Amino acid sequence: MQCAMPRHPSCAWTYVPSRSLQSLQDGHIGGLAGCFFDEMQTSASTEPIWSTTKLGKAMSRLISEPKESIRSMGELLAVALAMEKESADRYADLAGRMRAAGRPELAEIFDRLVYEELGHVDMVIGWSQQIHHRMPEAPADAAPQDIFDEESIGLVSPELVDAYRSLAIAVRNEERAFAFWSYVAADGASLEIREAAERMAREELEHAKTLRGERRKAFFKDRRPRMAIQEPYDLSSLEMEVCTRLEEYAGMKENTDIKNKYRDLALEARMLSLDLGSEPLQIPAPVGPPSPRSLDALCEWLADYYIDAGEHLLSQAARDKAQTLATIAVKRLAIVRDLVTR
């Protein structure tokens, strides 16, 4: 099945690979498909893919929707501070438990996560002082429910916990936080709130990307060497396969909004495929075990691959491009995992 080009009403475009990726490097969070057009006019009603319909009503996997819309910067900063403090406190508890159980290597991982979350706390406090010249207020109930989930790791024997699982939990928490702030950005009462929520979403997305890299390292460190079938990785073909799978999902959905979101993501994957076909990340293509074929697994595999390439490719230009692709792929994975729950 060949990936068809999704149709966008009132939309004309010209594809320019080098500039398309640069637009994402500049930090734009919204308009996933729009990031790949240099000349595009859309109707005023067209929204970024991550914002349409407030990310839906079935967000149990990634997000607990706010009970009420955030109406002021004071409320937004209070929620942000409460979320970061809750994450820091829970990771600190897990670090203490692992240390008491004689697992200092896992305690160190959770200590590092505490450090990262406290850095976010400092960022929110500094932001509040810059805007309001005071500390933000963070009531105990300000943090949304179900954003942080330790996935019962506190009930599991420490002997059965490893670095990969610990970091996987952290990755999923950051993805839920990204989805939450994307929801807030979609529903913001003012431009200031929407832009602030986009900033928080961007921070969570970058944190998730960093943690994915650490999780990948833990996986390969713990994995025993074994013989496996090796094949070259054709990233352009893999992105086109993602496009095809997304189009298949779109064809199975009756809801027009969800169908269009799948098609927007398919368009994004098609553009990435064209870009990688004309400007490969590396020549010759690397080889390794076969990539997965299911949509969710392939999206996750590509995210991890781009993160790893962003650290290890020889040229700075290739590393920069891989890091941009990693940001796109991590964001795509979060959206795909939301859509499959609907």
Q: What is the CATH number of the domain that holds 314?
A: 1.20.1260
What is the reported pTM?
A: 0.54
For residues 273 and 134, membership in a common domain is answered with no
Same domain (yes/no): 184, 159: yes
The alpha helices in the chain, defined as continuous H runs, are: 17-25, 73-100, 104-132, 163-187, 191-222, 235-252, 256-278, 295-312, 316-339
Q: Could you tell me the pLDDT band of residue 310, with boundaries at 50, 70 and 90?
A: confident
Closest CA to 211 of 160, 245, 176, 255: 176
In a domain, 14, yes or no: no
Single out the residue in 192, 222, 252 at which a domain terminates.
222
Half-sphere exposure in the Cβ direction for 273 (13 Å, CA): 18
pLDDT of the residue at 69: 72
Q: 222, 257, 276 — which closes off a domain?
A: 222
Cβ contact 32:268 at 8 Å: yes
For residue 275, which of 12, 3, 19, 13 has the smallest C-alpha distance?
19
193 and 101 in one domain?
Answer: yes
SS3 annotation, 158-211? HHHCCHHHHHHHHHHHHHHHHHHHHHHHHHCCCHHHHHHHHHHHHHHHHHHHHH
Q: What gap in Å lies between CA 192 and CA 223, rounded to an integer?
A: 47
In terms of residue numbers, what domain contains 108?
Answer: 73-222
Q: What band does 109 get if pLDDT is binned at 50, 70 and 90?
A: confident
Q: How far is C-alpha 262 from the chain's CA centre?
A: 16
Q: What is the pLDDT of residues 265-302, one digit of tens each?
A: 999 999 999 999 999 887 676 666 667 778 888 888 88
Are 306 and 233 members of one domain? Answer: yes
Query: Is the pLDDT higher at 44 or at 137?
Result: 137
Q: What is the mean pLDDT of residues 222-226?
A: 52
Q: Are residues 194 and 246 in the same domain?
A: no
Confidence of residue 308 (pLDDT cuts 50, 70, 90): confident
Average pLDDT over all residues of the chain: 73
Residue 291 lies in a domain: yes
Out of 41-50, 59-68, 169-178, 231-240, least confident range: 41-50
Q: 167 and 95, same structural domain?
A: yes
pLDDT value of position 9: 32
Q: What region does 55 belong to: left with phi over 0, alpha with psi -120 to 50, or beta?
A: left
Joined tokens for residue 126: 């500094």
Q: What pLDDT, in 10s, does the model give residues 39-59? A: 222 322 332 323 323 333 323
- Whether residue 244 contacts residue 2, with contact meaning beta carbons closer than 8 Å, is answered with yes
Q: Are 202 and 299 members of one domain?
A: no
Q: How many domains does the chain have?
A: 2
CATH number of the domain to which 195 belongs: 1.20.1260.10
Rounded to an integer, what distance in angstroms lies between the CA atom of residue 258 and that of residue 162?
A: 37
Same domain as 100, residue 117? yes
Which residue, 173, 206, 222, sits at the end of a domain?
222
What is residue 166's predicted lDDT score, i.e. its pLDDT? 76
| Cβ atoms of 198 and 185 closer than 8 Å | yes
Q: Which of 275 and 134 is assigned the larger pLDDT? A: 275
